[in-house]
Amino acid sequence: MNLATYLIGDAALNDCDFAIVLTNETDLLEPIRLARSEFGLQVMLVSPVDSPSTALSAGVDGVKKLRRGPLQACQLPTDLSDAKGDIHRPRSWRPSP
């Protein structure tokens, strides 16, 4: 909801030249459509998945795929510790070996 609100707000106020939206959530299709049709904002979709939504892909000015290597390089370690104890990344979030 916040992303949609700021996308429309920035487009309406002409606070950006173009938008880059990292998502595969089709809930953002309508805010993207409004930003493009009502305010002329160019929107680029960056997909975090291998096969981005066809509806989203069709509703933007361009699509790029988020490469796995740079994304993994930005992740915190699998196991961390702090003053309150150990913190473990969920198995489903861990990179494939």
Query: What is the structure's pLDDT at 75?
Result: 83
Query: What is the structure's pLDDT at 39?
Result: 97
- Please tell me the pTM assigned to this model: 0.74
Q: How many CA atoms lie within 13 A of 66 on its CB side?
A: 17
Domain ranges across the chain: 2-68
| 8 Å CB contact between 14 and 40 | no
| 8 Å CB contact between 7 and 35 | yes
For residue 47, the SS3 value is strand
Q: What is the mean pLDDT of each run of 10 residues along the chain (97 residues)?
A: 93 95 94 97 94 95 89 85 92 76
**For the domain with range 2-68, which CATH number is right: 2.40.30.10, 3.40.50.1010, 3.40.630.10, 3.40.50.300?**
3.40.50.1010
Query: What is the structure's pLDDT at 93?
Result: 79
Query: What is the structure's pLDDT at 72?
Result: 78
| 8 Å CB contact between 33 and 60 | no
